[in-house]
Amino acid sequence: MPKTDSKLSLDHMLAGLGPVLFSSIRAPFGIFDRDGRIVWINKSLAAIHKCDPEKAVGEFCHDALHGCDSTCDACFFKEVIVKGRTKVVEKWADFPGGERRWGEVHAYPVRGLDKNVSAVIVIVFDTTASKNALQQQRDYTGLLEQRLSVKERGPKKINLNSGDIAIP
């Protein structure tokens, strides 16, 4: 087979892989154009924002995912488009049953042939477990500091109706 045929075959195969690859990503994932319109989102990202992934395509992110009439004040897309650099932000979402999940939202610029940012890929990495572990460490540190400060104040005396007793 000539090299040109194998190159065409490979390009054709890769073109068909896109939807399969995107659908296989379980982490919340989406592709947005430079104007903030949804090009594609997976079911995980749609579930976080309680929307239908197929109906969201073509809609503005702020409308379909956040229910806003205009771009959100804290939108990090603008910065990714303007600066052309990856941006990572920490966000949370409340799920049914009252569970709050934390995630690092990674927004990656995608450059076109003209070297300008033409799209943004977003992937959310769940950080709930590490966030909870860090909070447990803070709580434990606070408890130890409290106990240490009590100990540093010296012995205490307690009256047990039979006289004072010093407790070291």
Higher pLDDT: 118 or 14? It is: 118
Q: Which residues pair with 166 in a beta bridge?
A: 157
Return the CATH number at 34: 3.30.450.20
77 domain-assigned: yes
Contact (Cβ atoms closer than 8 angstroms) between residue 103 and residue 124: yes
Domain assignment of residue 56, given as a range:
13-126
φ/ψ bin of 30: left (φ > 0), alpha (ψ from -120 to 50), beta (otherwise): beta
Give the helix/strand (H/E) hosting 56.
helix 53-56
Per the structure, the count of domains in the chain is 1
Tell me the per-residue pLDDT of 121-144, one tens digit each, with 9 for 90 and over: 999 999 999 998 988 999 888 888
133 domain-assigned: no
139 domain-assigned: no
17 domain-assigned: yes
114 domain-assigned: yes
Tell me the per-residue pLDDT of 66-124, one tens digit each, with 9 for 90 and over: 888 888 777 888 899 999 999 999 988 887 788 888 999 999 999 988 999 999 999 99
Q: CA-CA distance, 30 to 60, in Å (whole number)?
A: 13
- Helix, strand, or coil (residue 66): coil
Position 44 pLDDT exceeds 80 = yes
